[in-house]
Amino acid sequence: MFYLYAITESPEPPERAGLRAARLRAIDEGGLVAIVSEHADLRLEATEDDLWTHEEIVEELMDRGAVLPMRLASTLPDEEAVRATLRERRHEFEAALEHVRGAVELGIRAVIDTEPSDRPVSGTAGARGPGTAYMLSRLERERRGADAAARIHEPLAELARESIHRLGSQPQPRLNASYLVDRDRLEAFRVRVEQLSDEVIEATIVCTGPWPPYSFSSPESGR
């Protein structure tokens, strides 16, 4: 069984061990390379050690050039299956590598405080019963959350090649967003995050990364 860490163009694997101390290999099929380790029997349990081993290998590859990270537990039965995958999906992999070349992923997590102010929410005065007042208050909190999320996300999206975001609402609004950012714009992105932390006072904003582009590598997107 072959465990897949990433698809890349680097002809050499990182000089370190893979999962379960297995030797890393680079399987090159016409310039498209799969970084793998071979195992007689591999039972993954998504332990912290497994997650970090996978992540550290992909991050080292990211420092060498464009990389398409594979999800944890991606396996193929043998070397020929790996080569066949590289041949059959060559166009897809090459397009995805070109898409992320020269860029990395940055993450934004923002918790938004939408507690109402002292003044009553518009429309609650004279409302018929506590149920109506509750619904109006909830709608107002959701509106405030969406407004704050937009004020964070939109300026950052302008600095990125591509972005994805999601706004959760329970127990309070939380923005989770990922941005594919050119390496030469990393500092500008971080500076803008700091500015937004001062401007959007109702939100606590955390920026993470740079990471390999898990969210923007189409063959394995959707982390």
C-alpha span between 66 and 99 (Å, rounded):
9
What pLDDT was estimated at residue 121?
Answer: 47
Tokens, residue 126:
């004279």
How many residues can be counted in the chain? Answer: 223
Looking at the fold, whether 22 and 92 belong to one and the same domain comes out as yes
Q: What is the pLDDT of residues 23-62, one digit of tens each?
A: 999 999 999 999 999 999 888 777 888 899 999 999 999 9
Residues of the chain with pLDDT under 50: 117-121, 123-125, 127, 220-223
Query: 183-197 in b/e burial notation, b at 16+ Cβ within 10 A?
Result: eebbeebeebbeebb
User: What is the tens place of the pLDDT at every residue in 12-25?
Assistant: 999 999 998 999 99
Angstrom CA distances, 116 to 32, 120, 136, 139, 151, stand at 55, 8, 11, 11, 19
Choosing from 81, 100, 119, the residue where a domain stops is 100
State the pLDDT at residue 220: 44
Residue 43: the pLDDT is 81
Same domain, 168 and 111: yes
- Cis upstream peptide for 210 (omega within 30°): yes
Half-sphere exposure of 210 (CA within 13 A, CB side): 23
- Residue 199 confidence (pLDDT): 96
Query: Rounded to whole angstroms, how far apart are CA atoms 202 and 205?
Result: 10
CB 154 within 8 A of CB 147: no
Contact 3, 42 (CB under 8 A): yes
pLDDT at 218: 65
Residues 107 and 208 in one domain: yes
Q: What is the mean pLDDT of the chain?
A: 88
User: Which of 85, 100, 115 delimits the end of a domain?
Assistant: 100
* Single residue among 77, 100, 123 that ends a domain in this structure: 100
Q: What's residue 222's pLDDT?
A: 37
| pLDDT given for residue 114 in this prediction | 78
Domain that holds residue 210: 103-220
Kindly report the pTM of this predicted structure: 0.82
Identify the CATH number of the domain in which residue 209 sits: 3.30.70.260
